[in-house]
Chain A
Amino acid sequence: MTRSIEVRGLSRTFHTTVRRPGLAGTLRSLVNPERVAKHAVSDITFDVAPGELLALLGPNGAGKSTTIKMLTGILTPTSGEARVAGVVPYQERERNARNIGAVFGQRTQLWWDLPVRESFSILRDIYEVPKAEHATRLGEFDDILELSSFWDTRVRHLSLGQRVRCDLAAALLHDPPVVFLDEPTIGMDVVVKEQVREFLRHQVEERGRTVLLTTHDMTEVERLAERVVLINHGRLVLDGSLDEIRRKFGSTWQVRATLADAHTEVTALPGIAVLRQEGPQVVFGPESPDGPDSPTVHQALKAVIERYEVTGVAIDEADLEDVMRAAYVHAEAV
């Protein structure tokens, strides 16, 4: 198939009743309920190719989780359609279930009181995975995620990092071509985060899985995603590769200077703006990056050193967080 995930004009509206205060209000609500429509997702269209890792970004409450729920078959869209690995998820839920794996951040699908391996066996049976295949795959996961040191412990005794690694393995046991990850590394330490990222990279590159990843961690996006989709207020506002977004919204350079005297008054230089100042650390960037007279990073460096007394200096490509912030702001303005 040419496309792993196809989304066309997907929309979802929730109708909630407004609760009026007081006893009179309750009675009125019973007789004449006032309903309010909340457009969680409006008209979203995008594609994901097989073997691609797409990062789904957006502020809290933007509609990311609702979109994922529709793609996993839990919610039925109000309008529009979607296909995952050729199957319409909300119409053929069971068939879709065999094609997807999902990990929802803090929520575990493992059985709390049983050893992890027991959970794996149950899932193996539910998904009808042959025993030999199951053993090989578990061995493979163990190589990168180091599960064997704790897979005989009961889930309630695992740390967060261990539990999420087990959940990842559980989601991929049945070899699904499409994987949905909703904030999988939230709250983890850096070592485990790197392990998980390496695992995901391996799954995408060697095994050709399609991964749809929701995250707030920009380092993760930087290291894993080739493409980014930005959703805000239920609408799709950006769809492009990281490079495109950087070029569109990122200042192309930054100069970080540590001033000798923290109380020096810092003013902007021609074409150079002060992006941030934290005590003696000052970050300079281009005032208008797309402008014709925008100074190069070397010109800026020279100007800064000439003007101020600095004890340290560094040149940097723009932080992805700043890029995304600019993108969000731009999206709000549009």
Chain B
Amino acid sequence: MAVLHAWRAARVTPLGELHAPPRMTAVLLRLTVQVVLVASLWHGLYAHTGTTAGLAEGQAVSYAVLAVLASRLRELDQYAGRDTVLQHMHFGTIVYWYLRPVPPQRYHALRALGEQLYGFAWALGGYLVCLAAGVVDPPKSLAVAGVFFVSLLLGQWVLYYVMLTLDQLCFWTVRNNAAMLILIFAQNLLSGVYAPLWFFPDWFITLSGFLPFQATLSVPLSLYIGRIPLSDAGGQLAIQACWVAVLHLFTRFLWRRAARRVISQGG
């Protein structure tokens, strides 16, 4: 039951950010500028084109802006707080994770939950502002909104497991920059952060269907803008749920192996 009692651990990263107002203003500025730039770009690209790849102008702009806002959800700055798993391995402070009555995996999950909730608050605020300003189109119907919300939750769950795998990699390699970067890149590209996946060739879309990344962001956003019709929603949600299950088992397996690897420096 230490898990419930340890809820304060979830606040760590958000609290750290709240203690540093310059960091928050930096984030606010960056988000605003990014949204404006991205919206302008897509409006500009669509200036002489109609619907392409199944996306109309309004849809494409909404997708791109929502993707920018969603990036806030799991992007808090752990590095400045010496709190990334990689830094813990480097400084040897990872040892304390194994000395507390809360298991490391639950502690990590609590931290991630806190961060994602905090990021969600930001994203929601940004979303409401964009909606009011007309930058983003509202969902077509209440049903769409509902399905989008469920899909978003599942997507965030999948994202948590993806980020967890990245962190767990740190237990194995001392120098794992490259592997991490490749995973981050794959996550960004295949989740639709750079551009909606629909613009890519068909073989690319099929390929990404075999990886969990598109389930994190591309599916919920596509449901929101209506690119995936409600009729297909059920199937997509089921796929997301499958990824949650598969990754849950995979990361649990990795935690067990990781525990054997906590051999920090020193004799």
Q: Which A residues have a C-beta under 8 Å from some C-beta of B?
A: 14, 40, 60-66, 69, 72-75, 93-95, 97-98, 100, 102, 104, 107-109, 111-115, 118, 121-122, 125-128, 154, 156
Contact of B99 among A61, A72, A95, A112 (CB under 8 A): A72
The 7 residue pairs across chains A and B that have the minimum distance between CB atoms = A113-B16, A109-B96, A113-B81, A61-B267, A65-B266, A112-B82, A126-B6
Interchain CB contact under 8 A, B19 and A114: yes
Question: How far does the alpha carbon of A98 sit from the alpha carbon of B17 in the complex, in Å?
Answer: 30
Interface residues in B1-19 by Cβ distance below 8 A to A read: 1-2, 5-9, 12, 15-17, 19
User: B45 an interface residue at 8 Å Cβ cutoff?
Assistant: no
Interchain CB contact under 8 A, B19 and A113: yes
Which label, helix, strand, loop or mixed, suits the secondary structure of the A interface? Answer: mixed
Interchain CB contact under 8 A, B81 and A112: yes
Question: How far does the alpha carbon of A113 sit from the alpha carbon of B30 in the complex, in Å?
Answer: 22
> Given A125-B6, A154-B19, A97 and B99 touching (CB < 8 A)?
yes
User: B36 an interface residue at 8 Å Cβ cutoff?
Assistant: no
Interchain CB contact under 8 A, A100 and B12: no
User: B140 an interface residue at 8 Å Cβ cutoff?
Assistant: no
In the complex, which residues of chain A have a beta carbon less than 8 angstroms from the beta carbon of B199? none
Interchain CB contact under 8 A, A74 and B19: no
In the complex, which residues of chain A have a beta carbon less than 8 angstroms from the beta carbon of B54? none
User: B92 an interface residue at 8 Å Cβ cutoff?
Assistant: yes
User: B48 an interface residue at 8 Å Cβ cutoff?
Assistant: no
Interchain CB contact under 8 A, B98 and A62: no
Contact of B8 among A60, A65, A122 (CB under 8 A): A122
Contact of A126 among B2, B81, B82, B91 (CB under 8 A): B2
Question: How far does the alpha carbon of A69 sit from the alpha carbon of B15 in the complex, in Å?
Answer: 32
How far is the CB of B242 from the nearest CB of chain A, in Å? 32
In the complex, which residues of chain A have a beta carbon less than 8 angstroms from the beta carbon of B1? 128
Question: How far does the alpha carbon of A274 sit from the alpha carbon of B186 in the complex, in Å?
Answer: 71
Contact of A125 among B9, B15, B99, B262 (CB under 8 A): B9
Interchain CB contact under 8 A, A127 and B101: yes
Interchain CB contact under 8 A, A104 and B263: no
How far is the CB of B264 from the nearest CB of chain A, in Å? 8
Beta-carbon nearest neighbor of A62 in chain B: B267
Question: How far does the alpha carbon of A125 sit from the alpha carbon of B100 in the complex, in Å?
Answer: 11
> Given A74-B95, A74-B262, A121 and B8 touching (CB < 8 A)?
yes
How far is the CB of B19 from the nearest CB of chain A, in Å? 6
Interface residues in B94-114 by Cβ distance below 8 A to A read: 95-96, 98-103
Interchain CB contact under 8 A, A73 and B5: no
Interchain CB contact under 8 A, A107 and B91: yes
Interchain CB contact under 8 A, A60 and B19: no
In the complex, which residues of chain A have a beta carbon less than 8 angstroms from the beta carbon of B16? 111-114
Interchain CB contact under 8 A, A93 and B82: no
Interchain CB contact under 8 A, B91 and A125: no
